[in-house]
A and B are shown apart, each in its own frame.
Chain A
Amino acid sequence: MDTAQNFGFVVERRYPLAWSFGANTLNPGESQRWWLWWNGYPGLEVIGVAPSDPASEIQYRTPGMQANSDGSTTYFLTITNTGGSVAQYAFTGGTGPAWTFGDNTLGAGESQRWWFWWPGYPGVEIIGVQCITTGGEIDYVMPGMQSNADGSATYYLTITNVSPIPVEYRFIGFAIC
Protein backbone atom coordinates (compact mmCIF):
# COMPACT_ATOMS: atom_id res chain seq x y z
CA MET A 1 0.00 0.00 0.00
CA ASP A 2 1.34 3.44 -0.85
CA THR A 3 2.55 5.54 2.04
CA ALA A 4 0.55 8.26 0.45
CA GLN A 5 0.05 11.48 2.30
CA ASN A 6 -2.72 13.78 1.24
CA PHE A 7 -1.97 17.46 1.43
CA GLY A 8 -3.98 20.26 -0.06
CA PHE A 9 -3.85 23.97 -0.42
CA VAL A 10 -6.20 26.76 -1.39
CA VAL A 11 -5.58 27.91 -4.95
CA GLU A 12 -6.08 31.51 -5.85
CA ARG A 13 -6.10 32.32 -9.51
CA ARG A 14 -4.51 35.56 -10.56
CA TYR A 15 -4.52 35.03 -14.26
CA PRO A 16 -7.28 33.73 -16.51
CA LEU A 17 -4.94 31.49 -18.50
CA ALA A 18 -2.56 28.77 -17.40
CA TRP A 19 -1.44 28.81 -13.81
CA SER A 20 1.37 27.20 -11.87
CA PHE A 21 1.01 26.26 -8.25
CA GLY A 22 3.39 25.15 -5.57
CA ALA A 23 6.64 23.27 -5.50
CA ASN A 24 6.48 19.70 -4.28
CA THR A 25 8.75 16.75 -3.93
CA LEU A 26 7.98 13.09 -4.03
CA ASN A 27 10.04 10.03 -3.31
CA PRO A 28 10.75 7.57 -6.12
CA GLY A 29 7.99 5.01 -6.45
CA GLU A 30 5.59 6.98 -4.32
CA SER A 31 2.08 8.06 -5.21
CA GLN A 32 -0.06 10.77 -3.69
CA ARG A 33 -3.65 11.78 -4.26
CA TRP A 34 -3.80 15.57 -4.21
CA TRP A 35 -6.78 17.83 -3.85
CA LEU A 36 -6.87 21.43 -5.07
CA TRP A 37 -9.63 23.70 -3.89
CA TRP A 38 -11.29 26.69 -5.55
CA ASN A 39 -13.52 29.21 -3.86
CA GLY A 40 -16.48 28.83 -6.20
CA TYR A 41 -16.63 26.97 -9.47
CA PRO A 42 -13.65 27.75 -11.72
CA GLY A 43 -14.84 25.76 -14.72
CA LEU A 44 -13.25 22.63 -16.09
CA GLU A 45 -9.71 22.76 -14.80
CA VAL A 46 -7.24 20.70 -16.79
CA ILE A 47 -4.43 19.97 -14.35
CA GLY A 48 -1.01 18.50 -14.92
CA VAL A 49 2.49 18.75 -13.53
CA ALA A 50 5.66 20.48 -14.52
CA PRO A 51 8.64 18.55 -13.18
CA SER A 52 11.59 20.77 -12.40
CA ASP A 53 14.06 17.91 -12.84
CA PRO A 54 14.24 16.77 -16.48
CA ALA A 55 15.42 13.33 -15.39
CA SER A 56 12.27 12.46 -13.48
CA GLU A 57 8.99 11.25 -14.87
CA ILE A 58 5.95 12.29 -12.89
CA GLN A 59 2.75 10.56 -13.86
CA TYR A 60 -0.54 12.27 -13.21
CA ARG A 61 -3.77 10.38 -13.51
CA THR A 62 -7.31 9.89 -12.33
CA PRO A 63 -8.58 13.46 -12.29
CA GLY A 64 -11.71 13.93 -10.23
CA MET A 65 -14.11 16.66 -9.30
CA GLN A 66 -16.29 17.35 -6.28
CA ALA A 67 -18.75 20.15 -5.71
CA ASN A 68 -18.81 21.25 -2.09
CA SER A 69 -21.84 22.37 -0.11
CA ASP A 70 -20.46 25.89 0.37
CA GLY A 71 -20.21 26.44 -3.38
CA SER A 72 -16.51 25.73 -3.56
CA THR A 73 -14.94 23.14 -5.83
CA THR A 74 -12.31 20.50 -5.25
CA TYR A 75 -10.33 18.88 -8.02
CA PHE A 76 -8.30 15.73 -7.42
CA LEU A 77 -5.26 14.25 -9.10
CA THR A 78 -3.03 11.27 -8.37
CA ILE A 79 0.68 11.89 -8.75
CA THR A 80 3.31 9.16 -9.07
CA ASN A 81 7.06 9.53 -9.23
CA THR A 82 8.13 6.74 -11.56
CA GLY A 83 11.75 7.78 -11.54
CA GLY A 84 14.57 6.43 -9.45
CA SER A 85 15.21 9.55 -7.45
CA VAL A 86 13.34 12.22 -5.58
CA ALA A 87 11.46 14.47 -7.99
CA GLN A 88 10.36 18.05 -7.68
CA TYR A 89 7.43 19.43 -9.59
CA ALA A 90 4.75 22.08 -9.64
CA PHE A 91 1.10 21.77 -10.46
CA THR A 92 0.07 23.55 -13.61
CA GLY A 93 -3.25 23.93 -15.31
CA GLY A 94 -5.81 26.04 -16.99
CA THR A 95 -9.37 26.30 -18.10
CA GLY A 96 -11.36 27.92 -20.87
CA PRO A 97 -14.81 28.63 -22.25
CA ALA A 98 -16.57 25.29 -22.12
CA TRP A 99 -19.69 23.58 -23.28
CA THR A 100 -21.88 21.46 -21.02
CA PHE A 101 -23.87 18.49 -22.13
CA GLY A 102 -26.57 16.41 -20.53
CA ASP A 103 -27.80 15.90 -16.99
CA ASN A 104 -26.98 12.52 -15.53
CA THR A 105 -26.82 10.54 -12.34
CA LEU A 106 -24.49 7.74 -11.40
CA GLY A 107 -24.94 5.32 -8.54
CA ALA A 108 -22.50 5.07 -5.71
CA GLY A 109 -19.42 3.08 -6.68
CA GLU A 110 -20.50 2.72 -10.29
CA SER A 111 -18.42 3.22 -13.43
CA GLN A 112 -19.55 3.92 -16.98
CA ARG A 113 -17.83 4.43 -20.28
CA TRP A 114 -19.50 7.19 -22.29
CA TRP A 115 -19.19 8.03 -25.97
CA PHE A 116 -19.71 11.43 -27.61
CA TRP A 117 -20.19 11.80 -31.34
CA TRP A 118 -19.45 14.81 -33.51
CA PRO A 119 -20.56 14.98 -37.15
CA GLY A 120 -17.08 16.06 -38.14
CA TYR A 121 -13.73 16.38 -36.44
CA PRO A 122 -14.13 18.93 -33.64
CA GLY A 123 -10.48 19.12 -32.66
CA VAL A 124 -8.97 17.75 -29.50
CA GLU A 125 -11.84 17.76 -27.06
CA ILE A 126 -10.96 17.84 -23.38
CA ILE A 127 -13.91 16.37 -21.52
CA GLY A 128 -14.58 16.25 -17.81
CA VAL A 129 -17.49 16.44 -15.43
CA GLN A 130 -19.15 19.05 -13.29
CA CYS A 131 -20.77 17.50 -10.25
CA ILE A 132 -24.05 19.03 -9.21
CA THR A 133 -24.62 16.93 -6.11
CA THR A 134 -22.46 18.26 -3.35
CA GLY A 135 -20.16 15.99 -1.43
CA GLY A 136 -19.77 13.45 -4.18
CA GLU A 137 -16.64 12.89 -6.25
CA ILE A 138 -16.58 11.65 -9.80
CA ASP A 139 -13.31 10.64 -11.42
CA TYR A 140 -12.93 10.73 -15.20
CA VAL A 141 -10.29 8.63 -16.94
CA MET A 142 -9.26 6.91 -20.15
CA PRO A 143 -10.16 9.51 -22.75
CA GLY A 144 -10.31 7.98 -26.20
CA MET A 145 -11.00 9.09 -29.73
CA GLN A 146 -12.18 7.25 -32.82
CA SER A 147 -12.27 8.62 -36.33
CA ASN A 148 -15.22 7.21 -38.26
CA ALA A 149 -15.38 6.33 -41.95
CA ASP A 150 -17.98 9.00 -42.65
CA GLY A 151 -15.76 11.75 -41.32
CA SER A 152 -17.45 11.92 -37.95
CA ALA A 153 -15.58 11.55 -34.69
CA THR A 154 -16.34 9.75 -31.46
CA TYR A 155 -14.78 10.59 -28.13
CA TYR A 156 -14.89 8.30 -25.09
CA LEU A 157 -14.53 8.79 -21.36
CA THR A 158 -14.83 6.50 -18.36
CA ILE A 159 -16.35 8.03 -15.26
CA THR A 160 -16.53 6.57 -11.79
CA ASN A 161 -18.57 7.74 -8.85
CA VAL A 162 -16.19 7.07 -5.99
CA SER A 163 -18.66 8.35 -3.44
CA PRO A 164 -21.04 6.43 -1.17
CA ILE A 165 -23.97 8.44 -2.58
CA PRO A 166 -25.55 8.77 -6.02
CA VAL A 167 -24.23 11.87 -7.78
CA GLU A 168 -25.87 14.11 -10.33
CA TYR A 169 -23.43 15.66 -12.82
CA ARG A 170 -23.09 17.03 -16.30
CA PHE A 171 -20.35 16.63 -18.92
CA ILE A 172 -18.25 19.68 -19.62
CA GLY A 173 -15.52 20.26 -22.15
CA PHE A 174 -13.78 22.36 -24.73
CA ALA A 175 -11.66 21.87 -27.78
CA ILE A 176 -8.10 23.00 -27.28
CA CYS A 177 -7.00 22.88 -30.90
Chain B
Amino acid sequence: MKLLVVSDERGRIISLSVPGDVSGISGIGKAGVLPKSGQLIHTLDVPPEFEKHPLLELHRVLRVDGVGAKARLVSLEKFTETFLKGG
Protein backbone atom coordinates (compact mmCIF):
# COMPACT_ATOMS: atom_id res chain seq x y z
CA MET B 1 0.00 0.00 0.00
CA LYS B 2 1.30 3.42 -0.93
CA LEU B 3 0.81 6.40 1.32
CA LEU B 4 1.25 10.10 0.81
CA VAL B 5 3.72 11.00 3.55
CA VAL B 6 4.58 14.47 4.78
CA SER B 7 7.69 14.52 6.93
CA ASP B 8 10.14 17.01 8.28
CA GLU B 9 13.73 16.99 7.15
CA ARG B 10 14.65 14.59 9.95
CA GLY B 11 12.13 11.98 8.92
CA ARG B 12 9.53 12.65 11.57
CA ILE B 13 6.09 12.03 10.16
CA ILE B 14 3.78 15.05 10.04
CA SER B 15 0.92 13.27 8.29
CA LEU B 16 -0.05 10.14 6.39
CA SER B 17 -2.73 9.93 3.72
CA VAL B 18 -4.50 7.13 1.93
CA PRO B 19 -5.53 8.77 -1.36
CA GLY B 20 -9.22 9.51 -1.73
CA ASP B 21 -11.49 7.83 -4.24
CA VAL B 22 -11.41 10.00 -7.34
CA SER B 23 -14.24 7.99 -8.86
CA GLY B 24 -16.55 8.57 -5.91
CA ILE B 25 -19.53 10.85 -5.57
CA SER B 26 -17.45 13.83 -4.49
CA GLY B 27 -16.35 14.46 -8.06
CA ILE B 28 -12.87 15.32 -6.82
CA GLY B 29 -10.30 14.49 -9.45
CA LYS B 30 -7.22 14.88 -7.27
CA ALA B 31 -6.12 16.46 -4.01
CA GLY B 32 -3.02 17.04 -1.96
CA VAL B 33 -1.29 19.06 0.72
CA LEU B 34 0.87 22.17 0.36
CA PRO B 35 4.05 21.50 2.30
CA LYS B 36 5.51 24.10 4.58
CA SER B 37 9.12 25.19 4.44
CA GLY B 38 11.32 22.33 5.59
CA GLN B 39 8.69 19.68 4.99
CA LEU B 40 8.97 16.94 2.43
CA ILE B 41 6.28 15.04 0.56
CA HIS B 42 6.78 11.44 -0.43
CA THR B 43 4.73 8.61 -1.88
CA LEU B 44 6.04 5.58 -0.08
CA ASP B 45 5.21 1.95 0.40
CA VAL B 46 4.16 0.71 3.79
CA PRO B 47 6.66 -1.91 4.96
CA PRO B 48 5.14 -5.35 4.49
CA GLU B 49 5.18 -6.14 8.18
CA PHE B 50 2.98 -3.12 8.78
CA GLU B 51 0.51 -3.60 5.93
CA LYS B 52 -2.39 -4.57 8.17
CA HIS B 53 -1.74 -2.02 10.87
CA PRO B 54 -4.17 0.85 11.37
CA LEU B 55 -3.22 4.15 9.80
CA LEU B 56 -2.88 5.94 13.11
CA GLU B 57 -0.54 3.28 14.43
CA LEU B 58 1.60 3.68 11.33
CA HIS B 59 1.80 7.40 12.08
CA ARG B 60 3.16 6.60 15.53
CA VAL B 61 5.60 3.80 14.76
CA LEU B 62 7.10 4.72 11.41
CA ARG B 63 9.64 7.27 10.28
CA VAL B 64 11.01 8.28 6.90
CA ASP B 65 14.56 7.12 6.39
CA GLY B 66 16.63 8.44 3.50
CA VAL B 67 16.05 11.19 1.02
CA GLY B 68 14.78 11.54 -2.51
CA ALA B 69 14.47 8.31 -4.42
CA LYS B 70 16.01 6.45 -1.49
CA ALA B 71 13.38 7.54 1.01
CA ARG B 72 11.44 4.77 2.64
CA LEU B 73 9.22 4.16 5.62
CA VAL B 74 10.93 2.30 8.42
CA SER B 75 10.02 1.26 11.90
CA LEU B 76 10.95 3.67 14.61
CA GLU B 77 13.15 0.90 16.02
CA LYS B 78 15.18 0.71 12.85
CA PHE B 79 15.48 4.43 12.36
CA THR B 80 19.09 5.21 11.69
CA GLU B 81 19.03 8.56 13.44
CA THR B 82 18.67 6.97 16.85
CA PHE B 83 18.86 10.23 18.76
CA LEU B 84 15.80 11.42 16.86
CA LYS B 85 13.60 8.44 17.69
CA GLY B 86 11.56 10.54 20.00
CA GLY B 87 8.32 11.97 18.60
Contact = CB atoms under 8 A, between A and B. Distances in A.
A100 B24 CA distance: 9
B55 interface: yes
A101 B6 contact: no
B15 A110 contact: yes
Contact of A105 (B25, B36, B56): B56
Interface in B31-71: 31-34, 36, 54-56, 58-60
Interface residues of B, number: 28
B55 A115 contact: no
A126 B60 CA distance: 31
A29 interface: no
B17 interface: yes
Nearest to A101: B20
A173 B26 CA distance: 8
Contact of A104 (B16, B21, B27, B29): B16
A37 B39 CA distance: 35
B85 to A, nearest CB: 15
B30 A117 contact: yes
B84 interface: no
A13 B19 CA distance: 33
Nearest to B22: A101
Interface residues of A, number: 28
User: Chain A interface secondary structure, helix, strand, loop or mixed?
Assistant: strand
B8 to A, nearest CB: 10
A102 interface: yes
A171 B28 CA distance: 11
Given A102-B19, A103-B55, A105-B59, A116 B14 contact: no
A171 B20 contact: yes
Interface of A: 99-107, 110-119, 122, 132-133, 152, 166-168, 171, 173
Interface of B: 6, 13-21, 24-34, 36, 54-56, 58-60
13 contacts: A99-B25, A99-B27, A101-B28, A101-B31, A102-B20, A105-B15, A105-B17, A110-B14, A111-B36, A112-B15, A112-B36, A114-B33, A117-B29
